Amino acid sequence: MSMDVLIKTIKDPSSFVGVKVNASADVSFVALLKEVSDYYNDSQMFKAIVSNPKEGMRCIVSIPPLWHRAKVDTVLVSTNGFQVRCSLVDEMSTVVVSANRVFVTPEWVWEVPAQVIHFALHGVRPMRLVTDYVKDEVLFGSKDTMCWSASAIKWFKNYVAKSQGKVEVKVIKINEENIHFVKLFILDNITGSQICLNDVLVKNKFAVNTIESLVKSVQGETQTRNTMKTKSVIQNGHLNEAIHPEKVRNQIVLKVSS
């Protein structure tokens, strides 16, 4: 599945947030907004206020004249009672409202995916520059790590900024936390072709391709096991007896002579 996205915030290549371009043209989303508005504006419908808001809880927030799908971030206590900080899941914004404006949501409200999406690049893992001091020499190299270097983050942000945050993503998988693991493409204004930033990060030594490194690891383990098996056969004296042709012929001649 591919989609056009406007990236709003970037922490690093493994954590960035964006919204679908032309989300207002999404027929299912537009229909949902109307259903939500009709439901919560209908005085005949029973609408329950969230009695005990908790972090991570999904809800509907009233910000007249609109109703917004949201997720509870924090519950605050003030002199005016409970205040709730919520992230609006279809917009890149956070609001603080009184607890009596936070409502329980029916399941159908969430049938359309949130328009704000959390992304991570698929198939890459960060690499960092390392130095090793040996005698009077300084050796430079790189190694796998779990943290992106400051230079990799800066490069990624600058490259996305070239397209003013407008990119195309190909979704490879979505995990249980609804994080979309993607291949990210940007249009090169000079050549007119699309550039995959996953590949460029690897090419520039900011990242390692996790699929290739996994294959190399498996191949290395297989080669090690084969070497160990060969050594074991040689040590037990079976290899020469099994495959040495001269010894086999001698054994056959001996049997015929006897």
DSSP secondary structure of the chain: -EEEEEEEEEEETTEEEEEETTGGG-HHHHHHHHHHHHHHH-TTS--PBPSS--TT-EEEEEETTEEEEEEEEEEEEETTEEEEEEEETTTTEEEEEEGGGEE---GGGGSSPPSEEEEEESSEEEEEEEEEEETTEEEEEEEE-SS--HHHHHHHHHHHHHTTTEEEEEEEEE-TT-EEEEEEEEE-TTT--EEEHHHHHHHTTSEEEHHHHHHHHHHHHHHHHHHHHHHHHHHTTHHHHHH-HHHHHHHHHHHHH-
Task: Return the closest-CA partner of residue 23 out of 3, 37, 40.
Answer: 3
Q: In a structure prediction context, what are the per-residue pLDDT tens digits for the chain, which is 258 residues long?
A: 888 999 999 999 999 999 888 765 578 888 999 999 999 999 888 889 998 999 999 999 999 999 999 999 999 988 878 899 999 999 888 999 999 999 999 999 999 988 889 999 999 999 866 555 555 554 444 455 678 989 999 999 999 998 888 999 999 999 988 899 999 999 887 788 899 999 999 999 899 998 654 444 444 444 545 555 545 544 555 544 444 555 444 444 444 444
What confidence score (pLDDT) does residue 218 get?
42
Backbone angles phi, psi at 56, to 5 degrees: 90, -10
- Sequence-distant (6+) residues with CB within 8 A of 170 are 1, 2, 182, 183, 185
Distance (Å, whole) CA 8 – CA 23:
14
What confidence score (pLDDT) does residue 172 get?
95
What confidence score (pLDDT) does residue 160 get?
93
Distance (Å, whole) CA 208 – CA 216:
12
What confidence score (pLDDT) does residue 242 get?
44
Distance (Å, whole) CA 159 – CA 168:
13
What confidence score (pLDDT) does residue 154 get?
95
- Residue 111 tokens read as 């049938």
